Structure 1
Amino acid sequence: MNLDFSPEGFGSHAIHSTSIANGENAHLFPIVASSTFVFDSAEQGMRRFSGEEKGFIYSRFGNPTTAAAAGVIAGLETFNIKDKEGKQLQAGALLHASGQSAMATMLLSNLSAGDGILSHYSLYGGTHEFIYGFLAKLGISSVIEDFSDLNKVEDILKKHAHIKLIHVETPANPTMNCVDLAGICTLAKRYNAKVTVDNTFATPYLQQPFKFGVDFIFHSTTKFLNGHGTSIGGVLVGKDAEFMKKKGYETYKLLGGCASPFDAYLLMQGVRTLEVRMKQHCENAMQVANFLSGHPAIEKVNYNGLSSHPDHALSSKQMRHAGAVMSFELKQGLEGGKQFINNLKMCTKAVSLGTVDTLISHPASMSHSGMLREDRIKSGVTDGLIRMSVGLENINDLLNDIDQALKK
């Protein structure tokens, strides 16, 4: 999204990129709730379909509101990042009906039968199922490895020349493991593979993967970008704008995963407060993590903001802050975890994350329930693991609710 001034701050860019020019001079970009768009003439319709003339045709192909929202996220992911020529990086973006849909477009526009994808343990359950289950039916093979050892990653790339894509989730769901983006991108370039990153947990405010050489970024915009739990959505952002206009767009259009203009509008409203929300989310999360790590009922806390987390140093290097999501295990295991969840009074018992209220879930029986238990355990999702997305409540109220739930 191009502005006619150059803001120094991320928040300024987020606010003013959502107030872009529109035909009615509305302060905020309006909802264009139309399935189709009118041509002035038969000739104009022909020119639009042939690509000779720019313009909207049908909302599955593109819509003013969804295009504006996609441009906003692309602008945030590329904020203050220069291309090889020293100019502002211009990425392409496509807004989808869900994060899962954005991921599908990303994978299917880059991979064909005979190709391979390399990824790591500890992924969102839906991602794991899609990569290791669905893609296999299309003749696309998958390899899983521990990305904490880049030598192992390079060994796999040497042995499997058919690997065309390396998929990364950092921080990973729900162990908060982090991946060295610069190191992975160096290897990918050496072995002619592209790198994709799920940046949902971090948001572009905390982490900008394009800085490290990543090719594609996607988000479930449902989470922190929207921030209020009011809609489902996803976005795919590609550093190669031409690829996004052609192969990426054609895949997106044919899969039919277009976003609703209503959801796009809600997304743009959420983005306006992204910086201030993330600051408070992160401040609260750090205090909650410290509280849990010192509590006698807690066996383990997975939060990369803690010095005890194995990826604390890496997280500090490539992220502005560790974020607002963590997971933990109680000493009483699964039964203790269930009792803890049932005892909560203020925290919300629900899946998803990134809303203004604190959300508590049980990954093994919820978000990761579609995985084989063996794969789930290898990914760090044990039977008793609890995931928490820390919200914006008063920190004393939040700690009091957690403390009383642990004591009962």
Structure 2
Amino acid sequence: MKQVPLTGFSSVCAHAGHTQDPLYAHLTPIYASSTYVYDSAEQGMRRFSGQEDGFIYSRWDSPNFREVEEKVAALECFGLSDANGAPLRAKAKLHASGMGALSTLFLTHLKAGDKVISHYSLYGGTEELFRKILPQLGIEAVITDMQDLEKTASIIESDPSIRMMYLETPANPTLRCVDLEALIGLAKRFNLVSAVDNTFATPYLQQPFSFGADYVFHSTTKFLNGHGTAIGGILIGRDEERMRGAVEKTHRLLGANSNPFDAFLLTQGIKTLELRMERHCHNAMEVAGFLDGHAAVGRVNYLGLTSHPDFEIAARQMKHPGAMMSFELKGGLEAGKRFIDRLQMCLRAVSLGTTETLICHPASMTHYGVPKELRETYGITDGLIRMSVGIETVNDILNDLDQALS
């Protein structure tokens, strides 16, 4: 039977990557098996050599991994075409965590003596990886203001050791954005590998492949899972041959594989991605407007407010400003602590992207490992509060914020 193409984002969320289970289960069962058997020695040899598709060992692949990998790749490519006008294709590899996926990315493409160029205000784990782990391998991160395209081009042109450009937009937790089209264009001009952290936006709001990125990365723990039930990370690459070759080899040898149960939970979470993101985004606009007009709030970092310095960049490359924001209270750190302690419904927790509203203090939590002087350079002050707006009834979110701020 000819397969009918899926034309809607939510249809891809629900059905992409799924194949009929041999025992006719509605959902792909959790394959809790470390290894897979062969019908014969010849079949085993064909699978190991790559002549025959099939499962071998769960550190390498499993039906649960494959379904979610194909689903996320389809979402990042949804509606996009390649240079020949055919539907864009990509391949994804699921990892045990976002940091595992980043490690695969960097160690596949960078060796001793190489450099990666990136920008201010990155996720704290990425920042620490750049400062504490990669230098031990002889790999250096060049951090600069990538809002300044001329300066960025000059740095790349003057240093042939720079092999990769790594972008995180919107960035954590200041919500700064960089111009994907312009910067990925620079990467192509200087033959750099380009990679984009799309965790905050999700493929529903932003598709870096549409600007020519080589790789897209997600911490699947966040909006893709959406329910706070499992840790995970995924790396999606446009070069399918490279993904099956060098990237696959690094992934296997680092051992940062996911597990069938977490992959199953991620698959179920993604099925409601569009519905959840619509509600997240609606609520966030209401919350941002409320905070922006509150007497106790000094500044709100939200891409839907014209006061945000990157409002125009976000409007060009994102479908909606998203569900993430941060804000400063006029009373500084002490006011922030009082506010967090008074919350009744919104949750005091790190992470983001769950159905519940989560609020944290980056300087003492997500970016605790980043030196104070660097944090402040990036705009992460001691009084900054980060908020992941959930899908609760928006009036209940606003009421909780109001009583906590009073």
Instruction: Give the alignment's TM-score, normalised by structure 2.
Output: 0.98
The answer as to whether partners of 1:327 and 1:386 remain within 8 angstroms in 2 is yes
Q: How many Å separate the matches in 2 of 1:15 and 1:52?
A: 31
Q: How many Å separate the matches in 2 of 1:75 and 1:67?
A: 12
Structure 2 partner of 1:289: 288
Q: How many Å separate the matches in 2 of 1:338 and 1:82?
A: 49
Give 1:19 deviation, angstroms.
Answer: 4.1
Q: How many Å separate the matches in 2 of 1:96 and 1:251?
A: 12
The answer as to whether partners of 1:19 and 1:27 remain within 8 angstroms in 2 is no
AA aligned to 1:99 is G
Q: How many Å separate the matches in 1 of 2:87 and 2:4?
A: 13
AA aligned to 1:402 is L
Aligned to 1:253, the other structure's residue is in SS state helix
Aligned to 2:195, the other structure's residue is in SS state strand
Matched, 1:396 2:386: no
Structure 2 partner of 1:245: 244
Give 1:41 deviation, angstroms.
Answer: 1.7
Count of aligned pairs: 405
Matched, 1:78 2:77: yes
Structure 2 partner of 1:374: 373
Instruction: Give the alignment's TM-score, normalised by structure 1.
Output: 0.98
Give 1:182 deviation, angstroms.
Answer: 0.4
Give 1:379 deviation, angstroms.
Answer: 1.4
AA aligned to 2:299 is K
Structure 2 partner of 1:228: 227
Aligned to 2:235, the other structure's residue is in SS state strand
Aligned to 2:4, the other structure's residue is in SS state coil
Matched, 1:386 2:385: yes
Q: How many Å separate the matches in 1 of 2:29 and 2:149?
A: 47
Q: How does 1:82-101 map to 2 (within 5 A)?
A: 82-101=81-100
Matched, 1:63 2:62: yes
The answer as to whether partners of 2:17 and 2:66 remain within 8 angstroms in 1 is no
The answer as to whether partners of 1:94 and 1:235 remain within 8 angstroms in 2 is yes
Structure 2 partner of 1:259: 258
Q: How many Å separate the matches in 2 of 1:356 and 1:54?
A: 37
Q: How does 1:271-282 map to 2 (within 5 A)?
A: 271-282=270-281
Aligned to 1:281, the other structure's residue is in SS state helix
Question: Cα deviation per residue 1:13-32 (whole Å; 9 max; x = unaligned)?
Answer: 11122543332232222211
Q: How does 1:6-405 map to 2 (within 5 A)?
A: 6-17=5-16, 19-405=18-404
AA aligned to 1:260 is N
Q: How many Å separate the matches in 1 of 2:55 and 2:368?
A: 41
Q: How many Å separate the matches in 2 of 1:233 and 1:336?
A: 34
AA aligned to 1:98 is S
AA aligned to 1:193 is L
Q: How many Å separate the matches in 1 of 2:48 and 2:132?
A: 36
Let me know the Cα RMSD of the aligned residues.
Answer: 1.1
Q: How many Å separate the matches in 1 of 2:115 and 2:17?
A: 38
* Structure 1 alignment gaps of length 5 or more: none
Q: How many Å separate the matches in 1 of 2:22 and 2:149?
A: 51
Aligned to 1:39, the other structure's residue is in SS state coil
Q: How many Å separate the matches in 2 of 1:296 and 1:242?
A: 56
Q: How many Å separate the matches in 2 of 1:271 and 1:373?
A: 36
Aligned to 2:22, the other structure's residue is in SS state coil
Q: How many Å separate the matches in 1 of 2:135 and 2:90?
A: 30
Question: Cα deviation per residue 1:148-168 (whole Å; 9 max; x = unaligned)?
Answer: 111111011111111110000
Of residues 23-32 and 313-322 in structure 1, the stretch that sits farther from structure 2 once superposed is: 23-32
Aligned to 1:291, the other structure's residue is in SS state helix
Of residues 48-57 and 369-378 in structure 1, the stretch that sits farther from structure 2 once superposed is: 48-57
Displaced runs of 4 or more, over 4 A: none
Q: How many Å separate the matches in 1 of 2:366 and 2:30?
A: 32
Question: Cα deviation per residue 1:321-366 (whole Å; 9 max; x = unaligned)?
Answer: 0100100010000000000000010000000000000000001111
The answer as to whether partners of 1:330 and 1:336 remain within 8 angstroms in 2 is yes
Of residues 51-60 and 271-280 in structure 1, the stretch that sits farther from structure 2 once superposed is: 51-60
AA aligned to 2:194 is V
Aligned to 1:386, the other structure's residue is in SS state strand
Q: How many Å separate the matches in 2 of 1:67 and 1:231?
A: 17
Query: Sequence identity, in percent?
Result: 57
Question: Cα deviation per residue 1:107-165 (whole Å; 9 max; x = unaligned)?
Answer: 11111111110000000000001122211110111100111111111011111111110
Q: How many Å separate the matches in 2 of 1:47 and 1:396?
A: 59
Q: How many Å separate the matches in 2 of 1:21 and 1:150?
A: 49
Aligned to 1:118, the other structure's residue is in SS state strand
The answer as to whether partners of 2:18 and 2:67 remain within 8 angstroms in 1 is no
Q: How many Å separate the matches in 1 of 2:131 and 2:360?
A: 24
Question: Cα deviation per residue 1:47-103 (whole Å; 9 max; x = unaligned)?
Answer: 222222221111001111111111100000001111111111110100010111111
The answer as to whether partners of 2:297 and 2:327 remain within 8 angstroms in 1 is yes
Give 1:7 deviation, angstroms.
Answer: 2.3
Of residues 213-222 and 46-55 in structure 1, the stretch that sits farther from structure 2 once superposed is: 46-55
Aligned to 1:57, the other structure's residue is in SS state coil
Aligned to 2:94, the other structure's residue is in SS state strand
Q: How many Å separate the matches in 2 of 1:160 and 1:294?
A: 46
Q: How many Å separate the matches in 2 of 1:329 and 1:357?
A: 21
Aligned to 1:164, the other structure's residue is in SS state strand
AA aligned to 1:22 is D
